[in-house]
Amino acid sequence: MSHCKVPALIQAQVEMGSVEQKSLFRKEEEDKQTKAASLMEQGSLSPRFHEHTAKSPKNSVLRSIKIVILSNKLNMLLPFGPLAILVHYMIDSKGWVFLLSLIGITPLAERLGYATEQLAFYTGPTVGGLLNATFGNVTELIISIFALKNGMIRVVQLTLLGSILSNMLLVLGCAFFCGGLVFYQKDQVFDKGIAVVNSGLLLMAVMGILFPAVLHYTHSEVHAGSSEMALSRFSSCIMLIAYAAYLFFQLKSQSNSYTPLEEETNQKEEACDEDEDPEISKWEAIIWLSILTAWVSLLSGYLVDAIEGASVSWNIPIAFISVILLPIVGNAAEHAGAIMFAMKDKLDLSLGVAIGSSIQISMFVVPFCVVIGWMMGEQMDLNFQLFETAMLFITVIVVAFFLQEGTSNYFKGLMLILCYLIVAASFFVHEDPHEDAL
């Protein structure tokens, strides 16, 4: 009997060891999934990004066109782009050119996000984060560069301001509202720590934009006319350094500390949703990024040229067009993504899309435009004027108060949407005193 027990004991120990190895392997896999999810939620990586090695599909030219162009219903708006160019040369109606260009750029902005997601399959976390930071708001960046080239500094400032306000109030508000309606019996939960860090970065952006305006309106410049510009350029360089440090901190140093509590209970569901392969190859994604960027650049030129004519023909202030209408185009993809994630009870992802995009614009695109204007010899600064700066400051404070509890519901979403309507109405009746700079 004792001889029979020994093999049984050995077999039990072997089985126990195999179970422990399996549990350790499962724990490592879960840690990888959690880390990828935490990076995506910060807006640094695409929701479709994975750390596993992606299998590159081999598509023909026609199949690639079918996947990128014909697979999305929003691409039915693509013909409006060429139509805008035809109207420009045949009728030269600025109002129609502006409207058609605005509609034509909308699907291009969404496809740029898609191509960036596909390219992120083949890159590491750091490169993926930088890609998302660069191409996530490339539409606003291209429009701003064209406006800078035409000397329309106020259009640049107002467009970027409008994009920040739209993301913080309209996009986040719609996400909270739609998610709250789907899960009306409970408060949806998101990571409070991430929200606090994001709110701090937005307040730092407000600081960079506020101080040049205060310096201007208090008439306390050491060198009149030049101190304000010097402060704006110095602050822009500091903000770019801070944003680079934020990316490094997020992607390298403290990525594990950004793991939301909700992911622990939803890991299996998240893994199933995210377990997919790229639809196009790496070089296809690069080629499509180049084509879409060139097409956006072309339409942006016609769009910017038609802004003043559209303002006159529609009898709408240029400030309203720049702050309200133009950002709707660039934020179309963010709108859809944030609402979709909220309706799936993934508030951390919605927060990363909406607030993450606001951080990218305020901490990266705005100071980058100041530096580009510096190189082009344009007097682009961070003085967004008193009315616009106060609007931004109050908006950041309101959003920070809504995020401090770490919960959301449809009522909070409704309040944010109503706040955006107040902002829109304010700019509709606001006459910009610096309209000559437009």
Instruction: Give dist(CA 28, CA 35) in Å, integer.
Output: 11
Q: DSSP states of 21-40 as a string?
A: HHHHHHHHHHHHHHHHHHHH
Each residue's pLDDT tens digit, 347-375 = 888 888 888 889 989 999 999 999 999 99
In the predicted structure, residue 421 carries a pLDDT above the cut 70 = yes
Over residues 364-392, the mean pLDDT reads 92
pTM score: 0.75
Question: Residue 144 — pLDDT band, cuts 50, 70, 90?
Answer: confident
For 414, the token pair is: 């409704």
pLDDT for the residue 276: 61
CB distance 137 to 320 below 8 Å: no
Instruction: Give dist(CA 30, CA 27) in Å, integer.
Output: 5
Higher pLDDT, 428 or 139: 428
pLDDT for the residue 318: 87
For 271, the token pair is: 């893994």
Q: Which of 153-167, 217-231, 245-259, 300-314 has the lowest mean pLDDT?
A: 245-259
Over residues 151-158, the mean pLDDT reads 89
CB distance 326 to 147 below 8 Å: no
> Percentage of the chain surpassing pLDDT 70?
76
pLDDT for the residue 270: 47
pLDDT for the residue 136: 65
Over residues 249-276, the mean pLDDT reads 50
pLDDT for the residue 234: 95
Higher pLDDT, 155 or 128: 155
Question: Residue 435 — pLDDT band, cuts 50, 70, 90?
Answer: low
Q: DSSP states of 117-184 as a string?
A: HHHHTTS-HHHHHHHHHHHTTHHHHHHHHHHHHTT-HHHHHHHHHHHHHIIIIIIHHHHHHHHHHHTT
Separation of CA 7 from chain center:
62
Which is nearest to 385 in space by CA: 216, 144, 169, 189? 216
3-state secondary structure of 436: helix
pLDDT for the residue 107: 86
Instruction: Give dist(CA 56, CA 45) in Å, integer.
Output: 19
Separation of CA 49 from chain center:
16
Over residues 284-294, the mean pLDDT reads 87
Q: For all residues of the chain together, what is the average pLDDT? A: 78
Question: Residue 211 — pLDDT band, cuts 50, 70, 90?
Answer: very high
DSSP symbol at 251: I
Instruction: Give dist(CA 220, CA 151) in Å, integer.
Output: 27
Higher pLDDT, 234 or 184: 234
Over residues 193-216, the mean pLDDT reads 90
C-alpha separations of 26 from 19, 243, 255, 391 in Å: 10, 35, 20, 49
pLDDT for the residue 21: 43
In the predicted structure, residue 6 carries a pLDDT above the cut 50 = no
CA-atom Rg of the chain in angstroms: 24
pLDDT for the residue 1: 47
Q: Which residue has the tokens 């939960």?
A: 189
Angle at 39 between CA 349 and CA 291, to 5 degrees: 85
